[in-house]
């Protein structure tokens, strides 16, 4: 039933369970996963417009009917768990993902994993955050091939407040190869360890990727509209 206590890990109903200390479905301790349903009713919305086989907008937030967690899937997906071109939610996966835990080509969140990542904890080819891991990064604590950090960096090439690197520039080291490297790539990393210029380039990259997605979506919409005009029987 929709109002039964349930396991937050797998959604299994725990109604009437008095003798077991574990969820019968996933085996997790009940004291850790027991969730009592809220009287708050979740929200569901699916737009009638479909592009590339996905609704243009799908919203699934909170419990609804028999669903304990909102799972949204669409071009624009907003939900507790969201998957889409633009995914926004607690846990989200998409070309552009924005949320608590975000996984995508462009990922923005408390924890972000992607080609371009921005977050408190960021992992990516290019990444910015409090703690960052990746190819080229800027952050407070940075671990990467190339790192710029006002704090601590572990990298092959690093410019940081305190640099542990094969070639580093910082308060503790001044390697000539590192100095030459960061002078050569000052257009990308800037002239100091703040990483502001790198952040600006990241913002430009995210913007261009968003524009590319929008143009692709526009072409898909126009193509779909053209097919409907030529064959009205395809209208849903």
Q: CA-to-CA distance for 26 and 118, rounded, in angstroms?
A: 33
Q: Higher model confidence: residue 141 or residue 42?
A: 141
Helix (H, G, I), strand (E, B) or coil at 215: helix
Domain annotation covers residue 98: yes
Same domain as 49, residue 25: no
Domain count, the chain: 2
Tell which wins on pLDDT, 220 or 154: 154
Average pLDDT (155-180) is 93
Domain range for 3 is 1-37
> What sign results for the dihedral spanned by CA atoms 54, 203, 125, 152?
negative
Q: 């126009």: which residue's tokens?
A: 222
203 in the same domain as 90? yes
- The whole-number average pLDDT for the span 186-206 is 91
Side-chain-side CA neighbours of residue 114 (13 Å): 28
* pTM reported for the whole predicted model: 0.75
The pLDDT of residue 124 is 95
Q: What pLDDT shows up at residue 1? A: 44
| Paired sense of beta strands 57-61 and 71-169, if any | parallel
**133, two tokens:** 């891991």
* Rounded-to-integer distance, Cα 82 and Cα 54, Å: 13
Does residue 17 fall inside a structural domain?
yes
Grade residue 136 by pLDDT with cuts at 50, 70 and 90: very high
Give the bridge partners for 23, in sequence order.
none
User: Is 175 domain-assigned?
Assistant: yes
- Asked if residue 46 has pLDDT above 80, the reply is yes
Between 143 and 228, the more confident residue is 143
Q: Does residue 229 lie in a domain region?
A: no
Q: What is the pLDDT of residues 62-87, one digit of tens each?
A: 877 777 788 999 999 999 999 999 99
Residue 232 banded pLDDT, cuts 50, 70, 90: low
Q: Are 104 and 94 in contact (CB under 8 A)?
A: yes
Let me know: does 103 contact 111? Beta carbons within 8 Å: no
Structure tokens at 235: 């209208």
Q: Is the pLDDT of residue 52 over 80?
A: yes
Is residue 171 situated within a structural domain? yes
Quick one: tokens of 28? Answer: 């997790």
Band (pLDDT 50/70/90 cuts) for residue 165 is very high
């Amino acid at each position: 039933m929709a109002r039964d206590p349930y396991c937050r890990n797998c959604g299994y109903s725990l109604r009437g369970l008095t003798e077991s200390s574990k969820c019968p479905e996933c085996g997790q301790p009940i004291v850790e996963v027991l969730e009592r349903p809220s009287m708050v009713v979740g929200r569901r919305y699916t737009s009638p417009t479909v592009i590339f086989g996905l609704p243009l907008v799908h919203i699934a937030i909170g419990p609804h009917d028999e669903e304990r967690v909102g799972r949204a899937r669409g071009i624009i997906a907003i939900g507790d768990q969201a998957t889409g071109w633009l995914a926004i939610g607690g846990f989200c996966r998409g070309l552009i993902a924005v949320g608590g835990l975000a996984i995508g080509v462009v990922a923005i969140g408390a924890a972000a994993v992607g080609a371009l990542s921005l977050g408190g904890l960021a992992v990516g080819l290019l990444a910015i955050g409090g703690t960052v891991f990746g190819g080229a990064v800027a952050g407070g604590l940075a671990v990467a091939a190339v790192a710029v950090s006002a704090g601590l960096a572990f990298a092959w090439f690093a410019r940081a407040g305190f640099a542990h690197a094969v070639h580093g520039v910082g308060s503790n080291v001044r390697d000539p190869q590192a100095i030459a490297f960061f002078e050569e790539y000052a257009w990308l990393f800037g002239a100091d360890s703040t990483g502001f210029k790198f952040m600006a380039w990241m913002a430009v990259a995210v913007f261009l990727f968003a524009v590319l997605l929008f143009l692709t979506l526009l072409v898909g919409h126009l193509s779909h509209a053209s097919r409907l005009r030529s064959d009205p029987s395809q209208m849903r």
